[in-house]
Amino acid sequence: MPSIAELLFDAEKGQIHIPDFQRPWVWNRDKVRKLFTSLYRRYPVGAMVFWPNRTNGDQRHSLIDGRQRLTALYHVIQGRRAPWMRETPNEFAQPLGFNVVDEEFAYLSDRFAADERWVNVSDAFVVADFVERFDSAAASLASGGRVSHAAVVQRIARLQAIKETRINKEMLPENLDIERAVEVFEILNRAGTPVREADLVVARLSLVWPEVRESLEKTMGRWEDSGFRVPAEAVLRCLAAVVADTVDYGGLYGTKGNRRPSPTAKQLVAGFDQLVAATDDVLTKLRGRLGLSQVKPTVLNRGYVPVVYAAQRHAAGNLDQVDLDAMIGWWQLSNLHNHWSSDVRNRLEYAVTALRDGAGAVQLIELLGKPGRSLMLTPVDFLTKRKPSSAEYRLLLTMTKRCGAMDLPSGESLSFDHIGEHVELEAHHIFPTAYLKKQSGVREEEIDQLANIAFITKKKNLKIGSKSPADYLGELADQNLENLRSQWIPTDPALWRPNGYSKFLEQRSRLLAEQANDFLRGLLGDEAWEAAKNR
């Protein structure tokens, strides 16, 4: 077991690595005071847990549990800011004091300045001749009869001996994978902020590439400013795919089960640059082909990883343009069939491995859905309530922007390019909610079905309000029937009445499914679409 002095020495020399995910200082003064009280009284203070990492042959230990204690010990015993802290916490603005008479710890203020009973704890550790300098105060206290001179000297020695206290150093297995390390951290820190996989991965990468977090945050911030929120875990999976042809994090730093040597900083930076270029290309295609908004950020799931990997392979001359274009449709299909709802890591690995081995979009289609079942959409997909985050809801919005839909009643194009990035569309109930609730025979679950939703501008939505569909759709039909058809709204007036609502939903869901399949075919291309259709 190392002593506190040895731990502080290792921390200062960089042998102990403080991961970025542990940066925040959360202790208050009372916890620091209690820590030193426990150490002075020889109470146990708990083990520190480390995760050994080997980088270019050098062994360093990442601190998984014990960061608050180590920071407090460094600030007080070394008398200065810990090197892993960007600034000195407010808790150390006043020095920690020790009362040699009552053997208590407290933070010193001006009122303690002339009180001989109190010593600055940091001075006791960093001032070389502290005992000799304090001797006159000890003699003065002894003459007052409150404590003997020998007792004062003994208590100062006991205080200084805190540095020699042995701390139990628990070591996690060196080959522990990221998922298990996250689990260990969260078990040890149940009251704290949960750590993400990405935090641990970045912590390990920073041993080789110190600027990794800054590069990651800057790039992700730029993407978000452009309307795309990309999870850090997905970016790191992409980086592993580009650098090591795997989505396993071990490809970024090497593990016992990974045959590749650990990437160097130069290789990681080069891989990151390729990843950024490929992602920029993919995001441009997503915006252009799906009409994604820049006002409300689109949150990308980890399923976009194979698409970025495909773009990187295309840039390297290993994938043709047809397959790259089809990957946008493949990603859309994967979301529509809930491909990323479970077993995500393995499914990503299957896709990346297939692409690495020369597969294109046609072969990747086989990974989606249930074997032998067509991936075409059916009217049933639109005959249910869908959340705005669902793939079907977002597909309807995309179709509105990319398939010639027109605003009601103006007839203005609703294409993304036409309405501009600062004009957002709103979901409009064709049969208004308030109107349907007044009708008998309409079930609650039927009101919000996707087949009853169209997207129009906010101004037009407010104007229509809760009008009867028979009235306002009739007016629109008289003006221009094509406006209704462009929104896949049935044009039979009999279906606009309350007793025609069920048939309205049935017919519109059929129209939506037909348009959706046509749109997906355009994204995938004929060959990949046939593979999706005939399985």
Residues 269 and 198: beta-carbon distance below 8 Å: no
pTM: 0.72
- Beta carbons within 10 angstroms of residue 407's beta carbon: 23
Q: Where are the alpha helices (DSSP H) in 343-467?
A: 344-356, 361-365, 391-402, 416-419, 433-437, 444-447, 458-464
Q: 368's torsion region: left (phi>0), alpha (psi -120 to 50) or beta?
A: beta
Q: Which two tokens stand for residue 478?
A: 């008289």
3 state SS for 23-83: CCCCCCHHHHHHHHHHHHCCCCCCCEEEEEEEECCEEEEEEEECHHHHHHHHHHHHCCCCC
pLDDT of 437 > 80? The answer is: yes
Gap between the Cα atoms of 457 and 426, Å rounded: 6
Q: For residues 452 and 498, give the distance between their C-alpha atoms in angstroms, rounded to a whole number.
A: 13
CA-wise closest residue to 517 among 377, 366, 336 = 377
Show Cβ contacts of residue 256 under 8 Å, excluding neighbours closer than 6 positions.
Answer: 174, 175
Local confidence band at 354 (pLDDT 50, 70, 90 cut-offs) = very high
Structure tokens at 242: 């580009």
Q: Residues 487, 405: contact at Cβ < 8 Å?
A: yes
Run of H or E residues at 428: strand 425-429
First to last CA, the chain: 62
Q: State yes or no: pLDDT of 87 exceeds 80.
A: no
Q: For residue range 286-333, list pLDDT tens digits in order.
A: 988 988 876 677 889 889 999 999 999 999 888 888 888 999 999 999
Contact 509, 310 (CB under 8 A): no
The confidence score (pLDDT) of residue 256 equals 47
For 31, what's the count of Cα atoms within 13 Å in the CB-facing half-sphere? Answer: 12
User: Does residue 421 have a pLDDT over 50?
Assistant: no
pLDDT of residue 422: 45
Q: How far apart are CA 425 and CA 447, in angstroms?
A: 20
Backbone angles phi, psi at 191, to 5 degrees: -85, -10
Closest Cα partner for 225 from 297, 301, 302, 304? 297
Nearest to 367 by CA among 381, 351, 353: 351
Q: Which residue has the higher pLDDT, 337 or 65?
A: 337
CA pair distance 241, 239, nearest whole angstrom: 5
Distance (Å, rounded) from C-alpha 223 to C-alpha 289?
Answer: 17
pLDDT in tens, 443-494: 888 889 999 999 988 878 788 888 889 999 998 888 888 999 999 999 999 9
Least confident of 168-182, 343-357, 391-405, 470-484: 168-182
Are 227 and 293 in contact, with CB atoms under 8 Å apart? yes
E strand or H helix at 80, and its extent?
A: none
